[in-house]
Amino acid sequence: RQQGKIRFFGFTAIGATPALRQVIDAHSMDTAQVVYNVLNPSAGNTVPEGYPGQDYGELLRHARATDMGVINIGVLAGGALTGTEVRHPLGMPSVAPIGCGSNYAADVRRAQALTRSCRKDTRIALWSWLYVFAISHPSIGTGSGWLLYTGTAGTRRRRHQQRTASAHSSATPYETAK
C-alpha cells in the first residue's frame, strides 16, 4: 500500500470458522472471499444442527459489521449445482467440496433434489435462482455485478435473460432461505 502497488487486499475465508472470525476482527484486510451458495447458505443464514456442510456461522453479517467487503465464491459449489457428476474435459477432473457436503457426489445429489423442487415453481429456472441467491444477501457487494452478468449474458436465449432479471427484481432467495 505504501508503495502504491495495491489499494485493497483480502483473504479467502476457508478454514475453521472461529479463525475466520478472528481474521475479520483484526481489521487488517479489506475483503473476504466467502463461500455462499444454496448448498451451504450458512455464511448468510443459520442452519440446523447437523447440517451436511461447514457452518460458517453467518460470516457475511460478521464481515459487514466490521465494514469488510465480501466477494462471493463457490456459487456453483465447484460444479455440483450443475446437477451432474460428469466433469467438462477442460475442467478439473475432480473437485473436493469447499464447505458444502462430505463429497462431490453427495453435493450433486442434493443439487438434483433442488432441481426437482425448482421444477414445481416454473417461474424461475434453477440456474437463475442460483445466481440470484448468490447476489441477494445484503452483505455481498463485491462481485455481485459480475455474478448477475454471468447469470444472464452467458445465455443465448433472451427469455433466460428476462427470467433472471425478473427473479432478481422479485422476492430475494436470501429472504426465502431464512
pLDDT band, residue 110 (cuts 50/70/90): confident
Mean pLDDT on 65-84: 87
Contact 71, 32 (CB under 8 A): yes
In the structure grid, which three cell numbers stand for residue 128, read together? 437463475
Q: What percent of the chain has pLDDT over 70?
A: 73
Give me the pLDDT at residue 122, please: 56
Q: How many residues does the chain have?
A: 178
Contact 149, 143 (CB under 8 A): no
pLDDT band, residue 38 (cuts 50/70/90): confident
Which ranges in 74-177 belong to alpha helices (H)? 104-119, 126-136, 144-152, 158-169, 173-177
What is the average pLDDT value for the chain, to the nearest integer?
Answer: 78
In the structure grid, which three cell numbers stand for residue 134, read together? 448468490
The closest alpha carbon to 159, from 127, 114, 112, belongs to: 127
Contact 36, 137 (CB under 8 A): yes
Mean pLDDT on 38-56: 90
**Three-state DSSP state, 122:** coil
Which region among 33-42, 94-103, 151-160 has the lowest average model confidence (pLDDT)?
Answer: 151-160
Give me the pLDDT at residue 141, please: 75
Q: Does residue 84 carry a pLDDT above 80? A: yes
Mean pLDDT on 44-64: 92
Q: Does residue 147 carry a pLDDT above 80? A: no
Q: Does residue 50 carry a pLDDT above 90? A: no
Give me the pLDDT at residue 89, please: 86
139 CB contacts (<8 Å, ≥6 apart)? 44, 60, 61, 63, 64, 70
Rounded distance, CA 48 to CA 29, Å? Answer: 30
pLDDT band, residue 99 (cuts 50/70/90): low
